[in-house]
Amino acid sequence: MQFLPLGQERGKGKFVNLAKLLIFQHMLLVCALGNQSKIHTIGVVLPLTGRDSAYGTSIQKGILTAELAINRAGGIKGHKLNIVFVDDRSGRSSALDGYKGLVQMHKPIAIIGGITTESALAIAPMAERHKIPTLSPTATGDGVTEKSRYLFRVCFTNRFQGTALARLAIEHLGIRRAAILVDSSDPYSQGISENFRKTFQSRGGSVVAQESLQLSAAEVEKVLSAIKSKKPQAVVLATHYERVASMAHQMKKVGLRAVLLGGDSWDTFILPRDHASDLDGSYYVTHFSPDEQAPQVRNFVSEFKKVHSQIPMAFSALGYDALKMIASAIERAKDVSTEQIRNALSEIRNFPGVTGYITVNKSRNTTKSAVVMQIADGGVQYIRSIPP
């Protein structure tokens, strides 16, 4: 494994330290495998510093766990894997620069990244130009894979998340009246919210209020009080985990008693510490639960805990599946050319991933179930799965 930096690290605090710890740990693991003359190089572009570093370091842990398992089993076709990580510093231009650097310096046969819709869209033209199969673990934006026939993803789309949330509300929670808080500047928030609204209304539900999340501190109480007057049974809060706990606290403060519903960005290894009890009873859809009993899930959780001394969350599981899917494609490809690996990725059917049984469709998106989790007593628990 190698780490290709892009200039000086700008992040501070525990995420930078965690990234360095993971890199050092991984170097030790690679050394333990011995000096291999035959390797397959896989590039990875993800944020280890900056705004999205919580997601990036979580994904990295999953990739490291998969690499260790594959190399311990002898590699692929007699070749060990060599993973080259690039820190994109949570930036679109840095992701593009990192992708270019990987191609020019390391000539990978496949690349994992980018992890956000923004970074995946930035690197799509490069994937097409250099004909390198590129697999995003977590870019959920609708239409991402349309930008290149070499761009795939492990995660489902925002469209499906919104639909799954609406089905959860109608079919399993008996909710008929819902409000939506949406960040109109964020395609992620917009995508989930809009598809929730369409599906919820088509199944007999009523959206009694839809308000912007772009609020000043002085406006929050006024807006939430207005929503309260509409008596919703649930509030959809499709935003990133940093804002969830504070918004839940504000809802409780104004007496808005409704079930909170959210998407996969709620699922990170950092659980909210402030006002955590305000989230009790909330639900979110995601990709993975460590409580599922499928053999591949039990094996993954066990191996992950041995390497990282913690229970994996969804973003780690998606990183794990990304490398496993690439390994499966290399194994089945007629040769190790990037074109044959791309073709093998496009032929994946019912792959036994830890995030579900994965089928790659003609748009290079994955078809699989969504996992419903509930927050309770400061932790999360698996509730059910919602099929596509």
> DSSP characters for 247-261?
HHHHHHHTT---EEE
Whether 315 and 354 have beta carbons less than 8 Å apart is answered as: no
Q: What is the pLDDT of residues 31-62, one digit of tens each?
A: 544 444 589 999 999 999 999 998 999 999 99
Distance CA(73)–CA(260), nearest Å, equals: 44
Distance CA(85)–CA(319), nearest Å, equals: 13
Compute the C-alpha angle 162/163/166, nearest 5°: 90
Helices (H), 131-171: 158-167
The single-letter code of the amino acid at 133 is P
pLDDT tens per residue, the chain (388 residues)? Answer: 555 543 322 233 343 444 444 444 455 444 544 444 589 999 999 999 999 998 999 999 999 999 999 999 999 999 999 999 999 999 999 999 999 999 999 999 999 999 999 999 999 999 999 999 999 999 999 999 999 999 999 999 999 999 999 999 999 999 999 999 999 889 999 999 999 999 999 999 999 999 998 888 789 999 999 999 999 999 999 888 778 888 999 999 999 999 999 999 888 645 555 566 888 999 999 999 999 999 999 999 999 999 999 999 999 999 999 999 999 999 999 999 999 999 999 999 999 999 999 999 999 999 999 999 999 887 889 999 999 9
Q: What is the pLDDT of residues 58-87, one digit of tens each?
A: 999 999 999 999 999 999 999 999 999 999
Instruction: Say what the pLDDT of residue 72 is.
Output: 95
What are the structural domains of the chain? 2-156+293-368 (3.40.50.2300), 158-286 (3.40.50.2300)
For the chain, what is the total number of helices (H) and then of strands (E)? Answer: 11, 16
